[in-house]
Amino acid sequence: LSTPSSVGDAGEHALIDLIRRRLPPAPSWIHVGVGDDAAVVEPARNTLDVFTTDALVEGVHFDRAFTPPEAIGHRALAVNLSDLAAMGATPRAALLSLVLPAHLLVSEVAGIIDGLLALAARHRVQVIGGNVTQTSGPIVIDVTAIGSLRRRQALTRAGARPGDEVWVSGWIGSAAAGLGALAHGDPAGIGLALEIPIAAYLTPEPRVRLGQLLGRNRAATACIDLSDGLADGLRQLAAASGIGMVVTGETIPIAPGARQWFTAQHADPVRAALRGGDDYELLFTVARRRRSRFASVRRLIGDLPVTRIGRVTDDGEARIEYAGGVESVGDGYEHFR
């Protein structure tokens, strides 16, 4: 008689109905959407398909104690849109695989879906299918994102060449500081400056527009998103392109609130920002001869800051220059480590 309160009370079919009721009407390029064995989609004209998948696991990627359901849903889609952005792709559709414990409240599932669909709507992403499964363990939200791009506009990790400039979007280390502040509370005297890092952690903004512009203008030689930290991004880009990189520590853009937080934790802000994950900013390289193309991109991206932090070298290593010398960038976040 009353609304079922837990996933176990509601059942699989009721959960699927809950999701379907929240979906906007399907556009005409979706021939078969949610509710059949598979989705059937008209490809975008004269483009290549782009696919990525990434899972969020409760206790590993988020803690329900301080992550609202809407933020969990937002992040589950954002990490995938960030991967599409790093390829220069335009997002189109997503598949949603929910692995849920029976004790989870239906209202929390609704919140997760609402957070995901709000971000989807802003980027015109259609949820075209998925599945709901039970588990005896933590929540797993696995999203597959589908995008498109034109031939020769893919931003791979492999095109950086010695002499290219190294750029990064937004602010680095904010999500790590925000996560720290959420997990450990706000120490006395720091106050409101943590709101921006906390928002950076809870609701990261995938840099879809920047990625599209870099790809369309062929302004970048290589690109990666910073899911596992700037240090990891620098190493991955260097390895994939077969080059080295040197970054000037003091040029790394660290937001004031994040800098305050790291300092309050007696951590060096630059090293903490390098190591911290979950920023979902774009790290990319620009050839000197493409500077004018990149200038056009900068005029079109609006308020999003982009910062030059270093240059590509030919020595095969990713290094950082501090006032005191040069050292390896170190490791980023790696699962099982």
Question: Which residues from 83-122 bind its own copies, rule CB under 8 A?
Answer: 83-84, 86-87, 89, 93, 95-97, 99-100, 102
Angle at 196 between CA 190 and CA 197, to 5 degrees: 80
- 19, 110, 113, 146: which one contacts its own copies (CB under 8 A)? 146
Instruction: Tell me phi and psi for residue 206, to 5 degrees.
Output: -65, 140
Q: Are 284 and 211 in contact (CB under 8 A)?
A: no
Near its own copies by CB under 8 A, which window of 70-78, 118-126, 132-140, 266-274?
A: 132-140
Whole-number minimum distance, CB 252 to its own copies, in Å? 21
318 contacts its own copies (rule: CB under 8 A) = no
Q: What is the dihedral of CA 288, 294, 298, 301, to 10 degrees?
A: -140
Type and span of the H or E element at 7: helix 7-10
Q: Closer CB to its own copies, residue 158 or residue 295?
A: 158
Whole-number minimum distance, CB 48 to its own copies, in Å? 5
Q: Are 216 and 276 in contact (CB under 8 A)?
A: no
- 17, 22, 36, 328: which one contacts its own copies (CB under 8 A)? 36
42 contacts its own copies (rule: CB under 8 A) = yes
DSSP state of 42: P
Whole-number minimum distance, CB 158 to its own copies, in Å? 8
Q: Closer CB to its own copies, residue 102 or residue 295?
A: 102
Near its own copies by CB under 8 A, which window of 140-148, 198-206, 267-275, 302-310?
A: 140-148
Q: What is the 3-state secondary structure (H, E, C) of 66-134?
A: CCCHHHHHHHHHHHHHHHHHHHCCEEEEEEEEEEEECCCEHHHHHHHHHHHHHHHHHCCCEEEEEEEEE
295 contacts its own copies (rule: CB under 8 A) = no
Q: Closer CB to its own copies, residue 75 or residue 259?
A: 75
- 130, 206, 229, 310: which one contacts its own copies (CB under 8 A)? 130
- Binding-site size, its own copies (CB under 8 A): 73
* 283: β partners: 168, 224
Q: Closest by alpha carbon to 176, among 139, 243, 231, 123? A: 231
**Helix, strand, or coil (residue 294):** helix
Q: Closer CB to its own copies, residue 146 or residue 247?
A: 146
142 contacts its own copies (rule: CB under 8 A) = yes
Near its own copies by CB under 8 A, which window of 64-72, 152-160, 290-298, 304-312?
A: 152-160
Query: Please, which of residues 46-75 interact with its own copies by CB under 8 A?
Result: 48-55, 57, 59-61
Find the length of the chain: 337
Distance CA 147, CA 51 (A): 6
- 3, 28, 136, 292: which one contacts its own copies (CB under 8 A)? 136
129 contacts its own copies (rule: CB under 8 A) = yes
Distance CA 154, CA 88 (A): 6
Q: Closer CB to its own copies, residue 152 or residue 266?
A: 152
Q: Closer CB to its own copies, residue 187 or residue 316?
A: 316
